[in-house]
Every structure is written in structure tokens, then in C-alpha cells.
Chain A
């Protein structure tokens, strides 16, 4: 009896899921294309970050934990676990100087992941945030091959305890969304908040297009760089102290 019920439930579940897949792209489109206060994302804005590796503390991974909590990631570090942001330890080969920095999707202006995606599931919003439409992604992983920063993860197994604001799906690819759901509410990304709370202030988020924003002022006054700038992708994430 219970087996039959179970089967029925599974069938219903599948039917609902199919219906969901059918209508979801429309809903999702509205969702992701919307910007601040439900208005469409504006191309006047280019969201970005400035990361100061001098402030980033060795051994601290508050940003990583905050990302996992915010986006419903397991926080596991197996090679099949999703890691939207990771702490990288670097050692300069010539001087031997060590530094630390968080690494995530660089929200490229010319994103190779978007170019190669066969289904247009990878896309860039008008405000520069690069996202994956998880209802459209077929899980071919070509974007993971194409990303020069290894910023993307593939969902290898069933997900539990999801944050309804952050849609994810088994068999699809995902990466840092710059906490788009928070940004659209006028808040800043969870990693930046956590870093500030820990007193390190290594991450600064803001509008690269607004000359009056804090991030633009800082970029004007200190030496910053983009990782693999030679590739010409113009990432929205900049680094200081490299």
C-alpha cells in the first residue's frame, strides 16, 4: 500500500516537475532579468568587486562559509562538491612572498562561458552579473572547460535544504551569482558582509560605472589588477596587492 502511495507520489512529483520545467523558464527570466526593486537590471550599472589580498587573512575562510550558508551549498570540499568561492594561497615564485585571496566567478565582461554555452543558459545580465539559468542548462559542462578561472561547479548529486531564493539543480552547472538576490534588494553579497564582520574588510562590492562609488574611487587611487588580464575578458572582480 505504502509502496503504491510512494509510486504515486513520485509520479505526481515528476508530473509537477515537468510542469515546472515547462513554465519555469518564463518565471526565471522575469526573476533573473529583474534588477533593483523589480526594475530590469540596468546597463548603466556594472557590478564588481575589489579584493585586497593584503587584508585577506591566512586561515580565515569566513567568506566561504557565508557563501555556503547564503546559497545553500553543503560547504564540502570533495572534488564533486560545489565551491562558488574558494580561498587560494599563492606564493610568488621569484620573491617567495605569500598571499591569500578569495577566488570566485570573475563576472567577465566578455565571458567565455556565455560564448560556448549551446543553450544560452549561461548569460550576462545588463548590469554585468554572469549567471546560469538552471532551467535551461543541459549540463554539458562546456562552460566549465572554457572558464579560465575554474569558477564553475557541476551539481553532482541530489540537493537538500535549498534556499528558495537561490535555485539550484542536480545535473546543471552553477557559480557565484554575486548574491544577485541580495543585490537586487539593495544589499551587498554575503561574502563581503562576512569579511567586514570579521574585521578584515578585504572585499569591496560596488558599481564600477559610477565614478562616485567607493569602489571606483579606490580603483582610481590604488594599483589594482585583474587576474589573467592578458586574456582580455575584462573581469568585474579586481585585486589589490598582487
Chain B
């Protein structure tokens, strides 16, 4: 039992954390205000790198928001008790991350004040416009799903709702992948592999975020996770990490196979400076190899190792997206095949990009929104996984 002192201390800590989150979110809003006032000139983005750090944050949050629902799906759709007990927390995290990601995406627009135009002048051929529908649909579905789980008399509906969420999130992550897959003229994108790759990445990132939050909640409530559950969950994380590494490898290998993509791959994998470093050291080494070691190496794999592995998978995700989104634009578009091109508009040159403090503030602002939603909800409602005494499956 927690002592009164520890309760008081926790109360204080809770408000302190909330205030810190609030401050970061406010800083994000301030950045938005500055960008509105001065224009995107104060960001690091330019006419060559048109999507920058805010998009890295936004896409991570959105992809992870879809992936974290895996935990819920395994519970609802496949009826595993351990996961079922965790479905509410997974749904909450999904809503929180989706909110954070979409806020960043929206506030980075050149004219966020016109966001409503996207709804009134809907262009049905635009993948972006589809995604607006996918995101809002997901939002509503997950809320309904949560309701069916938390309200006793709605329990009967939780399975169908779980199924709907399960299907929807596949479509949603496919939609996110398609945003890039449809950019056929760009060497880095325009590949049919992108939607499945994003789906697999979402599993790993979502589960990693889930582990981090779950471990924190358990620690906060001075409980320890049943080692049997931990073992099962960490093995799943390991499998997802291996699968995503495989998808990323296939994506780069197929690119290497197409002669016209070799120069691009050479840039990312070999000569791209920061991007190459980020890919190999940030993503492959720290985002995959080290977590796998922490999970599987004999003698490792306890709570602390899994926590560390999860944190690294998340950081690796950011590194991956940075290389994918920004590195992918930095490499010059091949407008004149067979020619060496140069111009005042960056033709034939590696584009330069350095994120500005405002973009960093905006990105972290999105994380802060997700953090605040999670922290407040976890305290107000009961999201602590309730495991049965005996776990069978």
C-alpha cells in the first residue's frame, strides 16, 4: 500500500508533469503563432525540402497511433485475454497520438485557418483528402470502441467495434503509405511496397510506445507486470522489429535492383552524410539491432531491458522517418534523365535542410498533446490493465 507521503509526493509529481507537458504544448503553439506571423521563412523548410521535421513527428504519431491498436485487436479480434485487458489503454494511446499528430500536420499548413476548405472542397482524387476521412473515421471508431469496453451494458458491442477498428486501421496505415507511394516521379517514394512497409513499421512503433506507457503506469501504481505477460509481449516486439527491418531491407533492395534508383540508394546508404549516419547508426543499429539484443540476449530481457528496447525502437522510428521524408527530398529529382543538370533552383544538387527551433517546438508540441491526453485520462478514468489471476490462452 502506498503511504500518505508517497501519495502526496505523487500528486505533486503528477501536476508537475502535467505542467511540463502544458508548457511544451504552449511552446508549440507559440511556434505556430510565429510561423503564421512571419511565414515559413523561419522554419528550415524551403522549396526543395517542402516537408520537414513537423512531418516526421506527425507521421510517427499517426503511424504509431494505428499500430498501438494492434494490442487491442489481438484482444478483441483474436480473443486473447492478456491483450483484451490492455485494449482500453491501447485505444486511449491511439486517440492521444492521433490527436497530437494531426494537430502538428494541421498547424504546419501554410494557411491552417483554412482547414475547413479541405472539407468543403473535397477532391476525391487526392490521397490527402482520403486521409482526412480516414483519420476522422478512426477517431470516432476508436472512441466508440472505448465506450463499448468501458460501459458495462455496451460490452456486447465491443467485439464488432473491435473488428471495425481492426479493419479501419489497416486502411488508415495503407492511406498513410499511399501519400508517398503515389509520388511516382520521386525516386524515394512511388513504390507499391510503402503501404505494407508502413503497416509493419506501425506494429513495432505502436507496441514500443505501448510498452513505455504501460511500464510507467505500473511503476506509478507500484505494481510489477507479471513476468509471463512481459515475456510474451517482449517476444512480440522482437518479432515486429525483425519484420519491419525486413520490410525496410526489401524496400532498399528492390530500389537497388532498378538501375535508375541506384544513385538514390547510394546516397541514402553510402554517401548521404547525416542521412546515411542516421540510417545505419540511428535506425539500423540503435533502432533495431540493440533492441533485439536487449530483448533476446541471454540474461537480458527484464523489465528494464524491454523498456530500453522500446525507447530505442521509438527513437529509431524517428531516425527512419527523418531519412525517409527529408533524405528522400534532399536527393535531387531526376527531371532530365541522361543529363547532368544545374540551376538556381537546386536542379542536380543535394538540397540543404536544417530544422529550425520553431519546427522542433511544433513537433514536441504534438508529443506534448499526446502526453497530456494520456496522463489526464489515465488519472481520471481507469486504464490500468486488469489481469485475471490465471492467464490462459
Contact = CB atoms under 8 A, between A and B. Distances in A.
A89 B345 CA distance: 11
A66 interface: no
A150 to B, nearest CB: 6
B110 A138 contact: yes
Given A86-B345, A117-B123, A171 B39 contact: yes
A79 interface: yes
Interface in A174-209: none
Interface string A55-96: 000000000000000000000011111110011111111100
A146 B50 CA distance: 11
B376 interface: no
B128 A155 contact: no
Interface residues of B, number: 50
A142 B126 contact: yes
Contacts of B357: none
Interface string A87-121: 11111111000000001000000001001111111
A77 B125 CA distance: 34
Interface in B104-128: 109-112, 114-115, 117-118, 121-123, 125-128
B9 interface: no
B81 to A, nearest CB: 42
Given A94-B338, A118-B126, A171 B132 contact: no
Contacts of B109: 138-140, 171
A79 B117 contact: no
A218 interface: no
Nearest to A147: B185
Nearest to B185: A148
A136 B41 CA distance: 21
Contacts of A93: 338-340
Contact of A79 (B115, B132, B336, B346): B346
Interface string A12-38: 000000000100000000000000000
A80 B121 contact: no
Contact of A119 (B121, B179, B183, B346): B121
B123 A156 contact: no
Contacts of A172: 110-111
Given A79-B352, A156-B40, A142 B128 contact: yes
A9 interface: no
Interface in B270-305: none
A112 B185 contact: yes
B347 A150 contact: yes
A149 B335 contact: yes
Given A86-B345, A140-B109, A116 B126 contact: yes
B73 to A, nearest CB: 29
A173 interface: yes
Interface in B42-92: 46-48, 50-51
A57 B193 CA distance: 44
Interface string B315-341: 000000000000001000101111111
Contacts of B337: 228
Contacts of A146: 182-183, 185
B291 to A, nearest CB: 31
A161 interface: no
A152 B345 CA distance: 11
B3 interface: no
B388 interface: no
A49 interface: no
Given A116-B127, A118-B132, A148-B335, A228 B110 contact: no
Contacts of B185: 112, 146-148, 228, 231
A91 B343 CA distance: 12
B47 A89 contact: no
A3 interface: no
Contacts of B118: 118-119, 138
Contacts of B46: 78-80, 156
A91 B121 contact: no
Given A148-B185, A231-B185, A119 B127 contact: no
Contact of A136 (B36, B121, B182, B329): B121
A87 B111 contact: no
A78 B40 CA distance: 14
Contact of B182 (A116, A118, A119): A116
B152 interface: no
A136 B109 CA distance: 13
Interface string A207-227: 000000000000000000001
B114 A138 contact: yes
Contacts of B179: 142
Interface string B195-206: 000000000000
22 contacts: A78-B46, A79-B346, A80-B40, A81-B47, A86-B345, A89-B343, A90-B341, A118-B122, A119-B123, A145-B186, A148-B335, A150-B47, A150-B333, A150-B335, A150-B345, A154-B50, A157-B39, A170-B110, A171-B109, A171-B111, A228-B335, A231-B184
Interface of A: 21, 77-83, 86-94, 103, 112, 115-121, 136-142, 144-150, 152-158, 169-173, 227-228, 231
